[in-house]
Structure 1
Amino acid sequence: MAFRVAINGYGRIGQSVLRAIYECGYRDQLQVVAINELSDIETVTYLTRYDTTHGRFPLPVAHNGRDLLIDGDAIRVLNQAEAGSMPWQEMDVDLVLECSGSFSDRLTAQKHLDSGARRLLFSQPAEADVDATIIYGFNQQLLAADQTIVAAGSCSTNCIVPILNLLHRELGIISGVTTTIHSAMNDQPVIDSYNQTDLRLTRSAMQSIIPVNTGLNRGIDRLLPELAGRFESLHVRVPTINVSLLDISLNVSESTSAAQVNEILRIAAEGPLRGLLGYTEEAHASIDFNRDARSGIVDGTQTRVSGGKMIKLMCWFDNEWGFANRMLDVAQGWLNIK
C-alpha cells in the first residue's frame, strides 16, 4: 500500500518531484494525493505537461477543474496560502513534501502537522531545530519513526558532503573553499528588475554571471561538525537553465596525487555510493548531465593537486532532477521505518 503524499509548492522542485515519482520507480510507494499551489489549475496542468528543461511528461496529463489527472490518478489541486488551513487530516496525508521554499522554520512546518499531516520533509536547508537534516548516502541511518520534521538539505550539500566525508577519512581535510557555479533560478529576472533583498539579483539572469550569497559552508558545518569553521563558500549564477558545478579546493594533511584522489572517488562511485555519486573521465559539458539522477558526478579530468596537499575538484550535478530524486529517497526510506 502506497503512502499518501502532498506537495506544498509547485515550482521547479515540486514539479521535478512529481515527475520523478512517475518516472523513477517511486510510484508504488508514494501516492501524490494533493498539490498546493497558488496558481490556477490550467497553469499547473500546462506546466506539468510541458517542461523546457525536462521535456514533455511521458504520461497523459489533464484536469477536471478540481484535480490534476495523470495516467488515471486524480491529484487534488489546492490554492491555500496559509499552512494552518490545509485539509491534510481529511485527505489522510502521511507526508508533506515542502517545496515552496517560502519558509524553513519548525513553527510554520508544525502548522502542516496541526492540519493533520503526520510528517513534513523540507526541500531546502531548514533551521537547526528540525529533527534531522538528511543527506542520502551519508547519514540516512539517522532517520527514525518518531521524527516529524526533517530536511533533505540542498542540491549542493547533497553533492558535496559525501565527497568531503570520503576525502576527510582518507586524507584529512584541514580547510577548504567551495564555489558553486549554479544555473539561473526563478528569483532572478530575465531583464533587469527590482529585488528587495539583493542588488545583484536586480540584474538580468541571461546576460551576466552573478555572484549571490550562499550558506553552503554553514551546511557543511552542521552536517560534518568535525570540519566546522574550516570552510568558506562562494556562489555564482550563470546563464544556463539547469545543471550546476561545484568547484572544490581542499587543503589536506596527507600528501596525495590527482591519481590517488580520483581513485578514492572512483571506487566509492562504483561501490558503496553507486547510483548516488558518479565518476567520469570523458570530455563533458554541463548539458550532458541534464536529468542525471545522481547527487554529483566527479569530473576526473579536472582533478588537480598542487604541492601534494592542495586539491582542486570539479563535480557536476543536476540541481533539479538529482535533488528531487534524493528528496524522494529520503521520503521513501523515512516512511518505511516502523
Structure 2
Amino acid sequence: MSFRIAINGYGRIGQSVLRAIYEGGWQSQFKVVALNELSDIATVAYLTRYDTTHGRFPLPITQDGDHLLIANDRIQVLNESDPARLPWGELEIDLVLECSGAFSNRAMAMQHIQSGAKRLLFSQPAEADVDATIVYGYNHEQLKPAHKIVSAASCTTNCIIPVLDLLDRAFGIENGVTTTIHSAMNDQPVIDSYHRTDLRLTRSALQSIIPVDTGLDRGIDRLLPHLAGRFQCLHVRVPTINVSLMDMSINLGRDTSVAEVNELLRNASEGALQGLLGYTEEPHASVDFNRDARSGVVDGTQTRVSGGRLLKLMCWFDNEWAYANRMLDVAGYWLQTR
C-alpha cells in the first residue's frame, strides 16, 4: 500500500528525506504528493538536483509550473506560511513530515490536522504534549493508530538512546555527561553576523569551535525516565558540513572492561540493532560516515574504562542522512499500525 506524504519545510532534513525515499527503496510505500517551502520553485528544483553534501540527485529533476518533476512523479510545490491554509484534505495527505523547524508545539501541529492531514511527524523532539516521542529501534512499537502527532526525536537522541539502553541493562547507569561534537548548521553565519537569540551563533561557522545550548538531557529524561536528572549534556559546533560525534562519559553501576563493553555493543550491532547501530575498530575520520544510514556507529578504538566504572565512549553519526532514514522508518511503521 502506498501512503500519500507531504513535506513541510524543505531544508536540510526535508531534502534528505525526499532523497532517501528515492534512494532507499521507499517509493512503493510513500508517494510524495506535495512540498511546502517558502522559497521559489526554481530554487527548490536546483537544491534538489545538486547537493554539496550528498551529491547529485540520482534521477532527472525538472519543473512544470508549480510542480517538481522527479522522473515520472509530479510533486506540487506550495508556498504557504499559514498551515491552516494548506490543502492537505484536498490532496488526501496521510502524513505530513514536519521538517521546517519553525515550531514544536501541539497547537501548531494541529493546524495541519485541521487542514486535512491524517497524521504529523516532527523532525525534532517537539514539546512533551505530542502523542509519542519515538526512537526507532528502541520504542517504535509504542506507536498506535490513534496517535495523531508524533516526534521522531532528534539525530542526537537517535544516536545515544539505544546505546544508553544497552549499557543500562548490562551494567546499570549511575549518571553521565555527554558532549555532542556537531557539524555546522544553517543557523550559523559564514562570517560574523547577527543572531536573534544566541551571541555565540553570531560568530563565523568557518573559523571557530562554538559551544551552543542543547536539549539532549531533556530528551534522555523523556525517553529513559528512570535516568531523569542523571545526565548533563554539552554541545559544540565544528567547521565541517556533515557528520557528528557523540562523546559520552558514563558512571556505571558495576565494574567492567573495555573488552566487555565493546563486545556488548558489537554483538548488538550484529544482532537486534543491525542496520541501526554500527560498530567499528578501523581508524576512521568523520567523512567516512557521510551518508551512513545507521543512527550511530560506535568507535571501539576510542572506548576507555577508568577505575572500573567510568566509561568513555565515542559514537559517529550522520546528522542528516541517518536521521532522515529514521524518520522514514518511524513513518513506515506508524502508517502500517492497525
Q: Do both share a fold (TM > 0.5)?
A: yes
Deviation at 1:71, TM superposition (A): 1.2
Q: Per the alignment, in what secondary structure is the counterpart of residue 127 of structure 1?
A: coil
Could you report, residue by residue, the CA deviation over 1:170-226 in whole angstroms, capped at 9, with x for unpaired residues?
000000000000000000000000011000000000000000000001100000001
- For residues 252 and 79 of structure 2, the distance between their equivalents in structure 1, rounded to whole angstroms, comes to 51
Letter in 2 for 1:56: R
Quote the residue 2:188 is aligned against: 188
Q: Per the alignment, in what secondary structure is the counterpart of residue 76 of structure 2?
A: strand
- For residues 301 and 8 of structure 2, the distance between their equivalents in structure 1, rounded to whole angstroms, comes to 40
- For residues 275 and 25 of structure 2, the distance between their equivalents in structure 1, rounded to whole angstroms, comes to 14
- For residues 71 and 137 of structure 1, the distance between their equivalents in structure 2, rounded to whole angstroms, comes to 33
Letter in 1 for 2:78: L
Quote the residue 1:204 is aligned against: 204
Deviation at 1:58, TM superposition (A): 0.3
Deviation at 1:19, TM superposition (A): 0.2
- For residues 218 and 302 of structure 1, the distance between their equivalents in structure 2, rounded to whole angstroms, comes to 26
- Give 5+ residue unaligned stretches, structure 2: none
Quote the residue 1:229 is aligned against: 229
- For residues 241 and 65 of structure 2, the distance between their equivalents in structure 1, rounded to whole angstroms, comes to 31
- For residues 147 and 155 of structure 1, the distance between their equivalents in structure 2, rounded to whole angstroms, comes to 22
- For residues 195 and 293 of structure 1, the distance between their equivalents in structure 2, rounded to whole angstroms, comes to 32
- For residues 88 and 40 of structure 1, the distance between their equivalents in structure 2, rounded to whole angstroms, comes to 20
Quote the residue 2:321 is aligned against: 321
- For residues 45 and 299 of structure 1, the distance between their equivalents in structure 2, rounded to whole angstroms, comes to 37
Deviation at 1:308, TM superposition (A): 0.2
Letter in 2 for 1:186: N
Query: Is 1:72 aligned to residue 72 of structure 2?
Result: yes
Quote the residue 1:97 is aligned against: 97
Quote the residue 2:20 is aligned against: 20
Deviation at 1:253, TM superposition (A): 1.1
Letter in 1 for 2:117: A
Within 5 Å, which residues of 2 pair with 1:151-162?
151-162=151-162
Quote the residue 1:312 is aligned against: 312
User: Runs (4+) of structure 1 moved beyond 3 Å?
Assistant: none
Letter in 2 for 1:228: A
Q: Per the alignment, in what secondary structure is the counterpart of residue 158 of structure 2?
A: helix
- For residues 259 and 103 of structure 1, the distance between their equivalents in structure 2, rounded to whole angstroms, comes to 44
- For residues 95 and 101 of structure 1, the distance between their equivalents in structure 2, rounded to whole angstroms, comes to 17
- For residues 254 and 71 of structure 2, the distance between their equivalents in structure 1, rounded to whole angstroms, comes to 55
Within 5 Å, which residues of 2 pair with 1:26-37?
26-37=26-37
Q: Per the alignment, in what secondary structure is the counterpart of residue 55 of structure 1?
A: coil
Letter in 2 for 1:42: A
- For residues 316 and 109 of structure 2, the distance between their equivalents in structure 1, rounded to whole angstroms, comes to 31
- For residues 155 and 203 of structure 1, the distance between their equivalents in structure 2, rounded to whole angstroms, comes to 24
- For residues 294 and 85 of structure 1, the distance between their equivalents in structure 2, rounded to whole angstroms, comes to 36
Quote the residue 1:290 is aligned against: 290
Deviation at 1:26, TM superposition (A): 1.0
Deviation at 1:64, TM superposition (A): 0.6
Deviation at 1:250, TM superposition (A): 0.2
- For residues 254 and 137 of structure 1, the distance between their equivalents in structure 2, rounded to whole angstroms, comes to 26
Q: Per the alignment, in what secondary structure is the counterpart of residue 112 of structure 2?
A: helix
Quote the residue 2:174 is aligned against: 174
Deviation at 1:273, TM superposition (A): 0.1
Quote the residue 2:245 is aligned against: 245
Deviation at 1:25, TM superposition (A): 1.2
Q: Per the alignment, in what secondary structure is the counterpart of residue 59 of structure 1?
A: coil
Could you report, residue by residue, the CA deviation over 1:132-186 in whole angstroms, capped at 9, with x for unpaired residues?
0000000001000010000000000000000000000000000000000000000
Q: Per the alignment, in what secondary structure is the counterpart of residue 157 of structure 1?
A: helix
Query: Is 1:112 aligned to residue 123 of structure 2?
Result: no
Quote the residue 1:271 is aligned against: 271
Letter in 2 for 1:101: G
- Over the residues paired in the alignment, what is the CA RMSD in angstroms? 0.4
Letter in 2 for 1:267: N
Could you report, residue by residue, the CA deviation over 1:45-91 in whole angstroms, capped at 9, with x for unpaired residues?
00000000000000011101210000100000000000101000000
For this pair of structures, how many residues does the alignment match? 338
- For residues 274 and 190 of structure 2, the distance between their equivalents in structure 1, rounded to whole angstroms, comes to 38
- For residues 261 and 45 of structure 1, the distance between their equivalents in structure 2, rounded to whole angstroms, comes to 46
Letter in 2 for 1:164: L
- For residues 65 and 294 of structure 2, the distance between their equivalents in structure 1, rounded to whole angstroms, comes to 36
Letter in 2 for 1:303: T
Quote the residue 2:128 is aligned against: 128
Q: Per the alignment, in what secondary structure is the counterpart of residue 174 of structure 1?
A: strand
TM-score norm. by structure 2 comes to 1.00
Letter in 2 for 1:38: L
Q: Per the alignment, in what secondary structure is the counterpart of residue 92 of structure 1?
A: coil
Deviation at 1:254, TM superposition (A): 0.8
Quote the residue 2:219 is aligned against: 219
Quote the residue 1:256 is aligned against: 256
